[in-house]
Amino acid sequence: MREMRDPGCENKNVSPTPAQQARAAAIAAEIAALGFALPGTLADRMTRCGHASCRCHADPPALHGPYHQWTRKKDGKTATRILTDDQLADYQPWFDNHRRLRALIAELEALSLDIAEADPRWNR
Ligand SMILES: [Zn+2]
């Protein structure tokens, strides 16, 4: 098992600065503490139904909603589900966690690229 305080720094050939090591450890600790993470995007949508005589087809239209629409990629296709107010309240932190997780991964990747680019062994 890898030490939490020293993520990936057991390799003596690379030389992250103390600040880079500290940031990587902080990112790893935050990821470890995140909890569940739901992928996809949330949007509140107003819609029209299929009944031509409905108020949503009137002039001016009175659309249905707003509905909490959750969209994500599933097996290469777009999957859409509608969340109830209760579900939105329960799962909102999970969507927030996923957004934070993506940001932390992007920062860890950028940090790692900086360290790798500083490696003196590259042959141009
Ligand atoms: Zn309608």
pLDDT digits (tens, 9 = 90+) for 62-110: 999 999 999 999 999 999 999 999 999 999 999 999 999 999 999 999 9
Q: What's the CA-to-centroid distance between 54 and ligand 1, angstroms?
A: 4
CB within 8 A of 98, min separation 6: which ones? Answer: 37, 38, 39, 40
What pLDDT is stored for residue 123 in this prediction? 84
State the number of CA atoms in the 13 A half-sphere of 120 facing the CB.
2
Task: Specify the pTM.
Answer: 0.77
Cis peptide before 60 (omega within 30 of 0): yes
Sign of the alpha-carbon torsion through 16, 17, 18, 22: negative
Ligand 1: centre distance to CA 61 (Å): 9
Q: Count the alpha carbons within 13 Å of 34 in the hemisphere toward its beta carbon.
A: 22
Distance from the alpha carbon of residue 60 to the mean position of ligand 1, in angstroms: 13
Do 53 and 35 contact (CB within 8 A), yes or no? Answer: no
Number of CB atoms found within 10 A of residue 24's CB: 21
pLDDT at 3 (0 to 100): 47
Element (DSSP H or E) covering residue 86: helix 85-117
Mean pLDDT over the full length of the chain: 91
Residue 87 CA, ligand 1 centroid: distance in Å? 23
Using the mean position of ligand 1's atoms as its centre, give its distance from the Cα of residue 44 in Å: 17
In one-letter notation, the amino acid at residue 95 is F
